Every structure is written in C-alpha cells, then in structure tokens.
Chain A
Amino acid sequence: MIVFKDVSKTFRTDSGEVRALQHIGLTIRDGDIQGIIGFSGAGKSTLLRMINALEVPTEGHVEVDGRKVDELPREALRQVRKKIGMIFQQFNLLSSKTVYDNIAIPMVLNKMDMDVIDARVKELLRFVGLSDKAQVYPDQLSGGQKQRIGIARALATNPSILLCDEATSALDPETTGSILELLGQINREMNITIVVVTHEINVVRRICNRVAVMDHGRMVEQGSVLEVFSNPQQEMTKRFVQTVIPDKIPDSIVRSLKKETRNYKLLKLRFLGETTTEDLFYAINRKFPVETGIIFASCNELQGTALGIFIVEAIGRDEDIAAVRKYIVAHNVQVQEVVL
C-alpha cells in the first residue's frame, strides 16, 4: 500500500519558490492500477517520484508498505527501491549495452549469480515477446520495443510496485495500446501495483481502476475510474473526461434548440451498467404529460461496465418536468439539468 499523507513540495529556484505540490492525500491499495492525470506542470511526476524517494516532500510523508520512504537512511532506501520498478517516457535504456545486459543490470547490482540472471533475462524477454532481440542494441529497436525492454528491466528484481512516468507518451496510439495491454497483464498475472502518470485520459480509461486528477500542484479529484468518469465534479476533470466520453450537445443541435418556442428543459441522464433505458422512457411518456426526445446519446465501456449518457429534451410545463426528474431519480439514474 502506498499512502501520501498531506504531502507538499516547494522548489526553491532563482526566481523564487515554486509550490509544486500542495497538501496531497492519496492512498493506493495493493493490486490497484492508479492513474494520476494532469497537464504538464501539474506536479504529477513529482508525486510519482516520491514513491521511490527520487523526490522527497518538504512537508508530509509518503509511506510504502508502512515505511516512511522519505525518512529512510540511504542504504535502507536502496533496498526499498530495488522492490519498486520504474519505466520512463524516454525509456532510459543504456545505449552502450545490449538488450540482454540492459535487463540484467538491476540483477547485476544485486550481485545475483550469472546463471540465475541468465534464466531470468530469458524469461523476461519471452514475457515481453522480444526473445530474438537479446543481443541487439537499444538504438536498433522501435519505441514500443524499447519500452518493452524498459518494462522487462523494471520487472527483473520482482518488484511489488511498478511506476510508469508518461510511459506511453512517446509512442503512437497502436503501440500505446499494446504497452497498456502488457501493463494490464503484469497487474493481473503478477499482482503488481501500478502507478501510471499520464496526460492522456485514454490511458486512464483503458487500464486504470483508480484515478487522481492533478491541477497546479493540487489534487482536485480522485476516486474509482467509474465514479470519476461517469460523474466528474471539477472543471479540470470534466475537460479530460469530455475528450473520451463526450457529453456536449453538438452546435448545430444547439442552434435548432434555440428556435424551440415551447417550454422545455434539457436533462442529462447517466446510466451505469445494467440499468436499462427503454423502460424508463416508455414509462415517462406514458405517465407524464411531457414530450421527450433524445437529442444526444453516447455509450462507453469503463472497467467492463457500460456508461451511457443521454441528453433528453423534455417539453411540457415546469412542474411536470420536475415530476419527471423525480421519477428518474427514483429509478436510480443520475439526472442533471443542462443549461445552454
């Protein structure tokens, strides 16, 4: 378990103090894939680096499995770091060493026997699907292949935590997909806790089960991916979520709605999982003197659960529309009024 306890970080630079992180509290449970998302400069990388104490907080503490890593003496910290793998945006492979030697290096540092290292390197190469590249140098590999080697290297010492610092940001969408799949597989098969720092909401949507949203050094929102994506609270979160789960009414429809002379309200409905929609609309139309029309709909899958968003134009008297809202809420569907 990784716990951030009221963590703040202030950098002192020539041009004054920069408050990189402010009062961050976050708990990452074992086996989670925690996403940390934010624009560049939000402080997410600094936060990630605190888990293996590459950065230490100015205030607060970071605990990994109950130990305050920011207070550990150097030797003890080195031992903790050996159990935390890390992969990077620029891969950070040694260009002077072969793929084989790159993967072997963490084990060489641990002074393991050569035959043990040899077996483990081969096993890891098989796992990442690059057995034929053992004697190749990193500059002969594609970006995706380099990251696979980075992952193999990070897994060499059987870590319990894997830190990913923008690990897919330098890759094309297709390669990103395959790397994310590999990360998911590592999480499931090896039960490794993964912390993913990214500015791409798609990465969070595809593999994370938890997400924390950062903005200018603050954590503005956190929770399960399902909760946060289906009902984002903060502006920053909405901006991110909208790019993958659109819930904005297209402009052309807005223009035609403006010409509507009858009294109407726009209701945004969110359905999660098994909740079915047909019954609800059928019932509304039958029970209330309100005319409904779907003007926008989207359906996405998150963590194996379907998330449907409908924007419905309800035409009728205000009090009838209010009754409809109550009725929808009573059926466990989130509803919200949209103002144009």
Chain B
Amino acid sequence: MKELEILLGVPLSRIGLAAEETVYMVFVALLLGSLIGLVLAVVLVLTNKDGILRNRCIYGVINTAVNVVRSVPFIILLVFILPLTKFIVGTRIGTTAALVPLVIFIAPYLTRLFENSILDVDRGIIEAAQSMGASYFEIVRYFLLPEAKGSLILSVTTGTIGLLGATAMAGVIGAGGVGDLALTYGYERLNFPLMLFTVVVLVVFVQIIQTIGNHFAFKVRNH
C-alpha cells in the first residue's frame, strides 16, 4: 500500500475521495437527467408530425431547446450558467454545484437518445393501443415504454459514459473527481504514474458501466 502511495504521489484516501465524488456526480446527474430526458423524449415523440398528439408549437420549442443546449461544449456551459448554479444550489463551486451544469448537459443528450429509442417502437403497437381505447398516458405507460425498454437501457448506458467524461471537466469549478485528480495532480505535477492510474480507473469504470448496461438490455430483449 505504502509503495503504491509513493509511486502515485498522492494518498490513497485522496484517490478514494475523487472516485466517490465522480460516482456521486454521475449518479445524481444521471438520475435527474434521465427523468427530465424521459419526459421530454416522450413529449417529443407524441407531438412530432407523425405523433398522436401532433403539436408543432410544443415540439418546436423542445426540439430547438435541446439543439441549442447540445451545441454548447460542456466546458463553456459549465462557466456560462454559473449564475443559475448559484441561484439553484447557493454556491458556484464544489461537487454539488457541478450537478447543475451536468444535469443541463446530460438531459438534452438523453432526450435525443431516448427519443430515438421510443421512435423505434413499431407504429402498429400504438395503433393497437388506440384500438383498445387506451388513453395517451396508458399508451406511454403500457405500450411505448415497455416496448422501448431494452433500447432505453442502452441509451442510459451511453449517457452515463458521456456523463463520466463531462465530470472530468467539472474540476474547473472545484468539483473534484477522478478527472480532476488526473489534471491537477497528474498533468500539472507531471506525475505520469498517477495519470496512467486514473486513465486505467476511468477505463475500468466505462467497461463496468457498459457491461452492466449490455447485460440488462440483453436480459430485457431476450427475456
């Protein structure tokens, strides 16, 4: 253990804390982002021009908003919305403050992924649902979401990995995390072993997330 600390040049507890911060940011941002993304994706699918609640106005507003937010690189978004962050969480810095830009970053991304997942559901399913006298809510709850489930899980997986990448930049506002550790301790102190270590950790993270995602998606799709 001691040898490892000497080799990496930072206390192991510091690395543990960074990992904790990353997991916290990814988990909370993913939860909130998924909820927002799912709602927006459902609204987009229902209101698009072939949708059962076709509404050019609502579709146009959400579609444009999603595109606008998605065109801003995360590092810019992070600092651009600092006033909003301050307004919501009361501070501009720290791990919790980073959640605001992370959610705003990931929600539109997940919206697009979810939208595609739900659009993949056969139109015939919606028609069958309508012919049974299902309400709009019931169509979403009992037909669209269960049918899209496997694909939605893969979308969440892709989103999680994107989110993990974004957290690396959150260090700019003092959010910490594994990415920040690599930049401040590894890059700025020219500590190559630490850099290598964090890269390995991130690769392992991504592998675990993807494996879990694939596993559940496969399970859902192949019963």
State the A residues within 8 Å of B (CB). Answer: 52, 54, 77-82, 84-86, 88, 90, 92-97, 105-106, 108-109, 137, 157, 163
With A and B bound together, what is the CA distance between A97 and B220 in angstroms? 10
**B57–chain A nearest beta-carbon distance, Å:** 19
- Best-surrounded residue of A85, A90, A137 (most CB of chain B within 10 A): A90
Inter-chain contacts of A108 with B (CB < 8 A): 142
- 19 A-B contacts (beta carbon < 8 Å): A52-B131, A54-B130, A54-B131, A78-B134, A78-B135, A80-B133, A81-B131, A81-B133, A82-B133, A84-B131, A85-B131, A92-B122, A92-B125, A94-B147, A96-B150, A106-B132, A109-B134, A109-B138, A137-B223
Q: Which residue of B lies closest to A96 (CB)?
A: B146
Q: Assuming the A-B contacts A109-B134, A109-B138, are A94 and B127 also in contact, with contact meaning beta carbons closer than 8 angstroms in the complex? A: no
Inter-chain contacts of B220 with A (CB < 8 A): 96
Inter-chain contacts of A54 with B (CB < 8 A): 127, 130-131
**A112–chain B nearest beta-carbon distance, Å:** 13
**B174–chain A nearest beta-carbon distance, Å:** 44
User: Is B124's CB within 8 Å of the partner chain A?
Assistant: yes
In the complex, which range does the number of interface residues on chain B fall in? 20 to 34
With A and B bound together, what is the CA distance between A92 and B131 in angstroms? 11
**A103–chain B nearest beta-carbon distance, Å:** 12
Inter-chain contacts of B134 with A (CB < 8 A): 78, 109
For the complex of A and B, list the 5 residue pairs with the smallest distance between their C-beta atoms, beginning with the closest: A81-B133, A78-B133, A92-B124, A92-B128, A86-B131
**B138–chain A nearest beta-carbon distance, Å:** 6
With A and B bound together, what is the CA distance between A88 and B129 in angstroms? 12
A105 near B127 (CB under 8 angstroms)?
A: no
User: Is B143's CB within 8 Å of the partner chain A?
Assistant: yes
Inter-chain contacts of B122 with A (CB < 8 A): 90, 92
Chain B positions 173-223 with a Cβ under 8 Å from a chain A Cβ: 220, 223
Inter-chain contacts of A81 with B (CB < 8 A): 130-133
A90 near B223 (CB under 8 angstroms)?
A: no
From B124, B132, B147, give the contact of A109 (CB < 8 A): B132
**B135–chain A nearest beta-carbon distance, Å:** 7
With A and B bound together, what is the CA distance between A80 and B125 in angstroms? 19
Inter-chain contacts of A88 with B (CB < 8 A): 124, 127-128
